[in-house]
């Protein structure tokens, strides 16, 4: 399993995803503020992974608290939650994880737990968030493997792999599960401008697993599909609205439209913690806009001239009509998504942000 995020000596350790694949270096966090910075600056990224990170950030804060009473601990706990929630706006898993930590804390307070007991309760809940995320990825991978042919090519966009989750991955979890089931699967990875999650991270983690990977630039996917070499598209998601509209890394929408044009099935792989029943459709999903320097520069090298205007939305929304199916840890949801997504959430027991 890849070392996306873990505990070491009471600190949270994350592989620095900004440096991969050139360097495998680790960033240590001692406080919720450190974790918030790591999320904001993309040391760790990917919807499920930032949810896991946020829950661990909350643990760091309550663990280091010198509060002697539960009211003081609660103040510090909720402050940490607010800080972590203000990092990135689009991936709903972040808010899902924080809400889950808040619910657990509130229930434990109601049950009259002491400061030490509260700390242990929060610690245990964060571990569950992490463990369940890995289990969800494995479950959705098993469901999704059926959409991958016995021998063929999957096209993916961005990185929805072990690095983007607690481990194993969503879209790449489907690829891994197909590979483990003995299918001969190879991957086309869109490079994914501007942060290059596909070229840097998807290719790196798949090659470590011995899965054949071909990197293409984002502009090549249409020609590739037209050549008949893509059997199925599988991507991840940052937030799925109640009607099946999907927010994912910028460029996903383009891939979905091209897939429809070329008759290639377009699947989204995500745990139900990415489904947001409180958001009726994609128009209500907040889209993060990031620093323009991500576009104008590549590291220290300037690509665009001074004075050029830049638009840098980190995500786009793919309308549900372009989506063949949504592979969740509770089965593959098919259109009409309003019904199938609600059913998957109900089956999961604790619907995320209920409508
Ligand atoms: O900006 P990022 O790298 O956090 O964006 C990540 C994506 O868009 C992923 O496809 C999505 O979070 C799914 S990760 C399993």
**Residue 170: how many CB atoms within 10 A of its CB?**
33
Instruction: Using the predicted structure, report yes or no on whether residue 16 has a pLDDT greater than 70.
Output: yes
* CB proximity list for 114: less than 8 A, separation 6 or greater: 70
Nearest CA to ligand 1 atom 10: 236
Work out the average pLDDT over 163-187: 98
Q: What is the pLDDT of residues 265-276, one digit of tens each?
A: 999 999 999 999
Spacing, Cα 334 to ligand 1 middle (Å): 22
Q: Report, as residue numbers or ranges, the catalytic residues.
A: 238
Which pLDDT score is estimated for 51? 98
Which pLDDT score is estimated for 349? 85
Which residues of the chain are in CATH 3.40.50.10470 domains?
Answer: 141-352
Q: What is the pTM of this model?
A: 0.97
Work out the average pLDDT over 72-95: 98
Instruction: Using the predicted structure, report yes or no on whether residue 2 has a pLDDT greater than 60.
Output: no
Whether 53 and 98 have beta carbons less than 8 Å apart is answered as no
Work out the average pLDDT over 281-310: 96
Candidate from 46, 166, 196 with most ligand 1 atoms within 8 A of CB, to mutate: 46
Work out the average pLDDT over 40-58: 98
* Helix-strand-coil split of the chain, %, nearest 5: 45, 20, 35
Of 255, 324, 258, 314, nearest to 285 (Cα)? 314
Task: Domain 141-352: state its class.
Answer: alpha beta
Instruction: Using the predicted structure, report yes or no on whether residue 329 has a pLDDT greater than 90.
Output: yes
Token digits of residue 211 = 């899965």
Work out the average pLDDT over 236-262: 98
User: Residue 3 — pLDDT band, cuts 50, 70, 90?
Assistant: confident
Q: What is the pLDDT of residues 210-236, one digit of tens each?
A: 999 999 999 999 999 999 999 999 999
Q: What is the pLDDT of residues 149-173, one digit of tens each?
A: 999 999 999 999 999 999 999 999 9
Which residues of the chain are in CATH 1.20.120.420 domains?
Answer: 5-139
Architecture of domain 5-139: Up-down Bundle (1.20)
Which pLDDT score is estimated for 350? 63
CB-based pocket (< 6 A), ligand 1? 45-48, 91, 158, 160, 164-165, 170, 197, 236-238, 248-249, 314
Work out the average pLDDT over 112-127: 98
Range 296-300, long-range pairs (CB < 8 A, 24+ positions): none
pLDDT mean across residues, the chain: 96
């Amino acid at each position: 399993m890849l070392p996306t995020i873990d505990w070491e000596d009471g600190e949270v350790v994350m592989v620095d995803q900004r440096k991969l694949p050139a360097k495998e270096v680790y960033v240590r966090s001692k406080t919720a503020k450190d974790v918030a910075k790591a999320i904001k600056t993309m040391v760790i990224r990917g919807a499920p992974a930032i949810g896991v990170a946020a829950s661990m950030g909350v643990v760091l804060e309550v663990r280091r608290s010198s509060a002697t009473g539960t009211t003081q601990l609660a103040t510090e706990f909720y402050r940490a939650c607010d800080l972590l929630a203000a990092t990135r706006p689009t991936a709903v898993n972040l808010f899902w994880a924080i809400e889950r930590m808040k619910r657990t804390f509130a229930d434990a307070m109601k049950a009259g737990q002491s400061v030490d007991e509260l700390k242990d309760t929060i610690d245990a809940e964060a571990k569950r968030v992490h463990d369940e995320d890995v289990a969800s990825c494995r479950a959705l991978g098993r469901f999704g493997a059926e959409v991958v042919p016995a021998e063929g090519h999957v096209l993916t966009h961005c990185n929805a792999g072990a690095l983007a989750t607690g481990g194993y991955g969503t879209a790449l979890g489907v690829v891994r599960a197909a590979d483990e089931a003995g299918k001969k699967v190879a991957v086309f990875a869109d490079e994914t401008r501007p942060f290059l999650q596909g070229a840097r991270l998807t290719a790196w983690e798949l090659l470590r697993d011995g899965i054949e990977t071909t990197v293409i630039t984002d502009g090549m996917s249409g020609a590739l599909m037209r050549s008949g070499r893509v059997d199925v598209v599988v991507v991840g998601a940052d937030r799925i609205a109640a009607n099946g509209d999907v927010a994912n890394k910028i460029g996903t929408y383009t891939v979905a439209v091209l897939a429809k044009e070329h008759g290639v099935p377009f699947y989204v792989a995500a745990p139900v913690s990415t489904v947001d029943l409180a958001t009726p459709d994609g128009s209500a999903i907040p889209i993060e806009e990031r620093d323009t320097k991500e576009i104008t520069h590549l590291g220290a090298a300037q690509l665009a001239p001074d004075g050029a205007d830049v638009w840098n939305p980190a995500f786009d929304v793919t309308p549900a009509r372009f989506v063949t199916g949504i592979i969740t840890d509770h089965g593959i949801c098919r259109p009409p998504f309003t019904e199938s997504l609600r059913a998957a959430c109900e089956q999961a027991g604790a619907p995320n942000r209920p409508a």
